[in-house]
Amino acid sequence: MFFLARTLKDGVSLKNIESLMHVEKDVFDQSIVYQFYNERERNNDLFQQLNMAEGIYDPLIEYIKIIGNQQLPEIHRWLLFSIYQYLTLLCFNNMKAKHLFMQYIPDILVHLNKKVGASSFLYEVCINNKILVNNEELVSMIFEKALTSMTELEREEVEHGIVSIAMKEDHTVNYGFEKSRILHSLRGLLIFNDEGHKRNQQILLNKLSDNKYRRLVHV
């Protein structure tokens, strides 16, 4: 998955395949920040189209559906992390892929709080996707699940803090980064063509007025 994901970036040389296939174990660490791509990178449209034609994403989506919202053993978290990196770069600046993956959004929303990169994938599917941005039902679902995921991470953060104090050891995880990534993924629904989407902005404001999300607003 990591090798295939790396080939989806423009300018990547395939001459040294071994280096592209090498993966540092640290990238799976829950307490560090790992970005799938940056704003200076460009997509490799040819490799994206080849991967789409091969249908490599089909069994990966099925795996995501099977895992669902269950507890993740470490090996499954690593697999999901790799899958979401691949899917994110598959639809990076590729509108055809964005439209295809829209139908699977309900399946990936349950992983927003699992620290596996689902928020990066969600953002890439949403950004500049006119069909999705104007789908009020789907937009409302994404907002609701994203806010719920952030409140769940808030709860986990408090629990890990209590454990750290009790055991006098650091059991904290980078929850702040995960929450910020979820929040950033919503940007794709609030802005279209560099202009604010008023209806979606109002939908989010209405949801944030709910008392159960009050702490998120203050934080």
Sign, Cα dihedral of 177, 87, 7, 18 = positive
Q: If we measure between CA atoms, which residue out of 108, 119, 87 comes closest to residue 187?
A: 119
The whole-number average pLDDT for the span 39-62 is 83
Compute the distance between CA of residue 99 and CA of residue 93 in angstroms, rounded to an integer: 12
Computed over every residue of the chain, the mean pLDDT equals 81
Q: Is 214 helix (H, G, I), strand (E, B) or coil?
A: helix
Q: Which domain holds residue 97?
A: 2-218
Considering only residues 217 and 91, tell me which one the structure prediction assigns the higher pLDDT: 91
pLDDT at 164: 46
Note the pLDDT tens digit of each residue in 134-183: 999 999 999 999 999 998 888 887 776 554 444 445 545 567 788 888 99
Distance (Å, whole) CA 112 – CA 79: 15
Long-range residue pairs from 153-160, CB within 8 A, at least 24 positions apart, any chain = 153/113, 153/178, 153/179, 153/182, 154/179, 154/215, 154/216, 154/219, 156/113
pLDDT digits (tens, 9 = 90+) for 96-147: 999 999 999 999 999 999 888 899 999 999 999 999 999 999 999 999 999 9
Prediction pTM value: 0.79
User: How many domains does the chain contain in total?
Assistant: 1
- Whichever domain contains 79, its CATH number is 1.25.10
- DSSP secondary structure letters along 142-207: HHHHHHHHHHHHHHHHHHHHHHHHHHTS-----HHHHHHHHHHHTHHHHEETTEE-HHHHHHHHHH
